[in-house]
């Protein structure tokens, strides 16, 4: 098992949820935590613990972002007019690696980050290799011609494991995706319940 795959499943087990809804998650077979004490009765979380868990789950879902990266996005969401939790989701979904993952160009968010970093993606015809690049409405994201026949791309596009959300217009024959609009929480196809309102509460108190 690769280090990247191991890290991904470690997040699932730590959260106690199959947060990407993947068929291979160990949580599908064993829904308790890692280690010899994993099956012990879970204590009820405090308000702080519940808020922290919500933050860690959202951070983990987007490829286990660092606290510095996530805090920066939260600060921006707080500055923008409107509901901070909804703004946070919108900013996270506008990351280039998130778009590549949502468009089913690759199978996982971790693969999406690596795919972007290795220069396989263009935005409006220009190569972009920064996973955190902020996509705008109307932008066209595409897999570079020389990368379209990679096995990881072909397998992801044909996978029935998840659907492309309606805020993207995707053409898998051309391997292009147009970012139609910034989504809200209810638009994003999370396999598990995400609570950005608790993330807002966490940062408001800490």
pLDDT of residue 5: 46
Global pTM exceeds 0.75? yes
Using 50, 70 and 90 to split pLDDT, how confident is the model at 206?
Answer: confident
| Contact (Cβ atoms closer than 8 angstroms) between residue 100 and residue 112 | yes
DSSP 34: S
CB count, 10 Å around CB of 21? 14
pLDDT at 45 over 50: yes
Query: Average per-residue pLDDT in the chain?
Result: 87
| Contact (Cβ atoms closer than 8 angstroms) between residue 183 and residue 92 | no
Lowest mean pLDDT among 12-16, 44-48, 65-69, 102-106: 12-16
CA distances from 54 to 118, 128, 132, 188 (A): 31, 31, 21, 16
Averaged pLDDT for residues 140-157: 96
């Amino acid at each position: 098992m690769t280090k990247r795959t191991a890290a991904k499943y470690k997040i699932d087990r730590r959260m106690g949820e199959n947060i990407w809804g993947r068929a291979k998650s160990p949580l599908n077979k064993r829904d308790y935590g890692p280690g010899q004490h994993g099956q012990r009765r879970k204590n009820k979380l405090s308000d702080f613990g519940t808020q922290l868990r919500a933050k860690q789950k959202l951070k983990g879902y987007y490829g286990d972002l660092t606290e510095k990266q996530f805090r920066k996005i939260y600060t921006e969401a707080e500055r923008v007019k409107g509901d901070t939790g909804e703004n946070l989701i919108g900013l996270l979904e506008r990351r280039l690696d998130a778009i590549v993952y949502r468009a089913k160009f690759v199978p996982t968010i971790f693969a999406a980050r690596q795919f972007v970093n290795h220069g396989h993606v263009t935005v409006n015809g220009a190569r972009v290799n920064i996973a955190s690049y902020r996509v705008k409405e109307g932008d066209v994201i595409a897999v570079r011609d020389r990368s379209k026949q990679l096995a990881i791309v072909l397998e992801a596009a044909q996978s029935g494991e998840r659907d492309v959300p309606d805020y993207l217009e995707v053409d898998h024959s051309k391997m292009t995706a147009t970012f139609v609009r910034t989504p809200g929480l209810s638009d994003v196809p999370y396999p598990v319940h995400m609570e950005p309102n608790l993330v807002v509460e966490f940062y408001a108190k800490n």
